[in-house]
Structure 1
Amino acid sequence: MPHSSFSGSLSSPKLDLGIDTGNVFFNHTIDGFLKIGTVAATRAAVEDAYHAARRGRISGHNFEETLKKMCKEGAYWGTVAGVYVGMEYGVERVRGTRDWKNAMIGGVLTGALTGALLSAAGHNNKDKIVVDAITGGAIATAAEFLNYLT
């Protein structure tokens, strides 16, 4: 009986942009902002390109709206990521150890901070701050555990 197999590996592209502010904390924060902000902006562009392809047309207005959406999404997610990376690094420095607990604490602090800012801006329910803190901690901890699996 004939037998065939497939062997290979798949790896993601690696791109590092070095920005040295002279402060390791700021370097980590800016790096997180740029990387995740770029991913969010790219996601927005691809999503809008998909919708334009389904419609079969693109206009100058659609293109302008896509650029605005890319900037908004990139800035929002980049800011959250930058705050998270900075918080996690700060917790690591304070605790003096590098483990999953830093991710959890950093996620909780980031979720609480962003939840508080959004609640203050939108005059929303204060319970949202607690829910956002729990969500941030859960997502950050899950991501850290996934990193250990690979």
Structure 2
Amino acid sequence: MPTSSFAGSLKTPKVNVSIDMGNPLLNLSVDGFLKIGAVGATRALAEDAYHVVKKGSISRNNVEHAFKNMCKEGAYWGSIAGVYMGTEYGVECIRGTRDWKNAMIAGALTGAIVTAASNKGKDKVVVNAITGGALATASQFLHYHF
């Protein structure tokens, strides 16, 4: 039976956290969710902090709004990253190889899944599948060539 454990280390300026869910697919999905979710939450916090500074005053309502926005954005972007990471791993297992094509397929599937789940229409599903595949492929090329 799989067990969950939590391990982390802190080395300035890098934070590395690993969670063992007992399954590589789950490990990658949770890792993607946590890392990109934290980025999404931080972006939302920075944006809300900017608006508070621009306004010149802070209130309890502003803090509550910022917290809700952080949670929403963190969960949204974390979910997308988790789906992408899990899909890429699944495609790698099915194809038996690790290359840029896995990223392209996983990006396209993630774009299509996320859009279909939000009921945006068939045309938007296709457009976001193409966009997801293109972004993931470009990311892989940049990662390995620069």
Q: Common fold, TM-score beyond 0.5?
A: yes
Q: 1:62 Cα shift?
A: 0.6
Q: Which runs of 5+ in 1 are unaligned?
A: 1-11
Aligned mates of 1:125, 1:101 — CA distance in 2: 26
RMSD: 1.2
Q: 1:14 Cα shift?
A: 2.8
Q: With the length of structure 1 as denominator, give the TM-score of the two structures.
A: 0.86
Aligned mates of 2:72, 2:94 — CA distance in 1: 33
Q: With the length of structure 2 as denominator, give the TM-score of the two structures.
A: 0.89
Q: 1:125 Cα shift?
A: 2.5
Aligned partner letter, 1:38: A
Aligned partner of 2:94 in structure 1 is 94
Q: Which runs of 5+ in 2 are unaligned?
A: 1-11
1:81-110 residue CA offsets vs partner (Å, 9 max, x unmatched): 000000001111111111110000000110
Q: 1:132 Cα shift?
A: 1.1
Would you say how many aligned residue pairs link Structure 1 and Structure 2?
Answer: 135
Aligned mates of 2:13, 2:99 — CA distance in 1: 26
Aligned partner of 1:141 in structure 2 is 137
Aligned partner of 1:43 in structure 2 is 43
| 3-state DSSP of counterpart to 1:16 | strand
Aligned mates of 1:80, 1:111 — CA distance in 2: 9
Aligned mates of 1:45, 1:105 — CA distance in 2: 32
Aligned partner of 2:24 in structure 1 is 24
Q: 1:149 Cα shift?
A: 2.5
| 3-state DSSP of counterpart to 2:131 | helix
Moved over 4 A (4+): none
Greater strand proportion: 2
Q: 1:13 Cα shift?
A: 3.9
Aligned partner of 1:113 in structure 2 is 113
Aligned mates of 1:14, 1:135 — CA distance in 2: 30
